[in-house]
Amino acid sequence: MGEPQQPDGPEAAKPPLRVGMVGYAFMGAAHSQGWRTAGHAFDLPLRPVLSVICGRDAQAVRRAADRHGWAATETDWRALVARDDVDLVDICTPGDSHAEIALAALAAGKHVLCEKPLANTVEEARAMADAAEAAYGRGQLAMVGFNYRRVPATALARNMIAEGRLGTLRHLRVTYLQDWLVDPQFPLTWRLRKELAGSGALGDLGAHVVDLAQYLAGEQLAGVSAMTETFVRERPLPVGATSGLSAVQSAGTGQVTVDDAALFTGRFTSGALASFEATRYATGRKNALRIELNGTHGSLAFDLERLNELSYHDGTEAATHAGFRRILVTEPDHPYLDAWWPPGHGLGYEHTFVHQARDLVHAVAAGRRPEPSFADGLQVQRVLAAVEESAEKNSVYTPIAA
Ligand code: SOE
């Protein structure tokens, strides 16, 4: 593909934000889409440039570069981090390499975007958050990719809760359900190996919903009681590279070393009570992230599989005609939607990555700390660690460490 297309006119006059991405599988493709589209959909202060993409397999990364519009490739992330034509390093690799790449990128003077969960352990996440704080003093920004904050409906829900429409929060009911592990013959990919993924459904899906619940509530969890389970403990070993959530051929078997499902209850600092369920065994559920919040004045419910909608009950209305009603979140006054299609013409999963890129570009241009920050990612990591500790101790209530 060679050099990316150079824009003419006012776009060309904007300073570039040159991105170097490490990883090119499912999340690499999603982030590429975000970087490629953000500057077309939104009038941004900087022009995102897809400079370099990195992966260990030279041919595969070349194919990914051509497909997604990256100008150059590298096969060693250290070379990418050292390049002068990279201002921001976007980390889309499995969790075991997040800390090393992020620390090197921050040390090299780059901004960083890191996929969730921030790291595989609290220790790694703390080192990353400390390095990000020091780098902020030098004008560098670091953000973690909790993209579900960037669904227009969840952003609207956050605004409504912050305006006080729910009153004091009492309950949060949160599930994130997938089913891609139901088949016991599905191979032992990296997501099922603790040394690579850190944890299973907990870190992959639970991290998203812990972040989303805390973001919507505007407060943090104080403690949790948890149960986890690994239903299928041995699986066929994959042959060759695996990508996304697809099955591949296999030879021999190996141990699953992460949780298949995690269930926990939690208490928020205000006293609100929450329940969480994260599983890859909810037969028929593909990507069912659902959250309901009940407060003293009203309730809100969101379902990722109907992501252009928000369900709202205004508890201050007369009981005779009150009830849950559907807000179609496609109005130009709704978050992010001034840049998109006319009312009723909905958005999808991919747009969350466009909005993520948009928000980070604005933060970089303004030198403003982006959200969610690495400190937010560290706090989520502490919740995940408390869930694991509680589960090991047969659901003993476990405070979130400070
Ligand atoms: C796989 O379970 C996965 O791709 C997660 O890793 C993503 O973060 C989530 O957005 C969709 O499901």
CB atoms within 10 A of CB 333: 8
Cα-to-centroid distance, 200 and ligand 1 (Å) = 11
Contacts 24+ apart (CB under 8 A), 248-253: 248/187, 250/185, 250/187, 250/188, 253/188
Q: Which CATH class is domain 149-399?
A: alpha beta
Contact indicator for 38, 336 with CB cutoff of 8 Å:
no
Each residue's pLDDT tens digit in the chain (402 positions)? 444 556 778 888 999 999 999 999 999 999 999 999 999 999 999 999 999 999 999 999 999 999 999 999 999 999 999 999 999 999 999 999 999 999 999 999 999 999 999 999 999 999 999 999 999 999 999 999 999 999 999 999 999 999 999 999 999 999 999 999 999 999 999 999 999 999 999 999 999 999 999 999 999 999 999 999 999 999 999 986 555 566 555 579 999 999 999 999 999 999 999 999 999 999 999 999 999 999 999 999 999 999 999 999 999 999 999 999 999 999 999 999 999 999 999 999 999 999 999 999 999 999 999 999 999 999 999 999 999 999 999 999 999 988
Ligand 1 pocket test: which of 208, 242, 355, 384 has the largest number of ligand atoms within 8 Å of its C-beta?
A: 208
Q: At what angle do helices 374-392 and 207-217 cross, to 10 degrees?
A: 120
Gap between the Cα atoms of 257 and 194, Å rounded? 5
Residue 234: φ, ψ to 5°: -135, 135
Name which residue sits closest to atom 5 of ligand 1, judged by CA.
204
| Nearest alpha-carbon partner for 177 in 303, 336, 357 | 303
ipTM of the shown complex? 0.94
Task: Give the number of the atom of ligand 1 that is nearest the alpha carbon of residue 208.
Answer: 8
* Span from the CA of 287 to the centroid of ligand 1 (angstroms): 8
| 152-162 vs 207-217: helix crossing angle, rounded to 10 | 40
CA dist 163 and 324 (Å) reads 19
Give the Å distance between the CA of 205 and the centre of ligand 1.
Answer: 7
Whether the CB-CB separation of 339 and 41 falls below 8 Å is answered with: yes
Query: What pLDDT score does 1 carry?
Result: 42
CA of 65 to the centre of ligand 1 (A): 22
**In this structure, which residue's CA is closest to atom 9 in ligand 1?**
205
- Give the residue extent of every domain in the chain: 10-148, 149-399
Q: How far apart are CA 123 and CA 388, in angstroms?
A: 15
Note the CATH architecture for domain 10-148.
Answer: 3-Layer(aba) Sandwich (3.40)
Sign of CA dihedral 33, 36, 38, 42: negative
User: d(Cα 251, Cα 248) in Å, to the nearest integer?
Assistant: 10
Residue position matching structure tokens 């920004």: 141
Q: How far apart are CA 218 and CA 30, in angstroms?
A: 27
Residue whose CA is at the smallest distance from ligand 1 atom 1: 204
Q: How far is the CA of 116 from the centre of ligand 1 (A)?
A: 9
Which DSSP category does 301 fall into? E
Nearest atom, ligand 1, residue 280 CA? 2
pLDDT score at 246: 60
Cβ atoms of 238 and 245 within 8 Å: the answer is: no
Q: What per-residue confidence (pLDDT) applies to 239?
A: 81
Task: Please count the CA atoms within 13 angstroms of the CA of 50 that sit on its side-chain side.
Answer: 30
Alpha-carbon distance of 33 to 31, in angstroms, equals 5
Instruction: Report d(CA 54, CA 76) in Å as an integer.
Output: 7
Q: What is the pLDDT of residue 37?
A: 98
Q: Which of 301, 265, 273, 206 is nearest to 390 (CA)?
A: 265
Alpha carbons within 13 angstroms on the beta-carbon side of residue 228 total 23
Residue 327 CB burial class (10 angstroms; 0-12, 13-18, ≥19): middle
CA distance linking residue 399 with residue 269, whole number of Å: 11
Ligand 1 residue neighbourhood (C-beta within 6 Å): 26, 178, 204-205, 208, 245, 287
Å from CA of 176 to ligand 1 middle: 10
How far, in Å, is the centroid of ligand 1 from the Cα of 370?
22
- Considering only CA atoms, which residue is closest to atom 11 of ligand 1? 287
Nearest protein CA to atom 2 of ligand 1, as residue? 204
Ligand 1, atom 6, lies closest to the CA of: 204
CA 307 – ligand 1 centroid, Å: 16
Closest ligand 1 atom to residue 245 Cα is 1
β-bridge partners, 91: 22, 114
- In the numeric block, which tokens belong to residue 111? 């901004």
Cα 167 to ligand 1 centre (Å): 32
Which residues, at least 6 apart from 344, have a Cβ–Cβ distance to it below 8 Å?
A: 328, 330
Residue nearest to atom 8 of ligand 1 (CA): 204
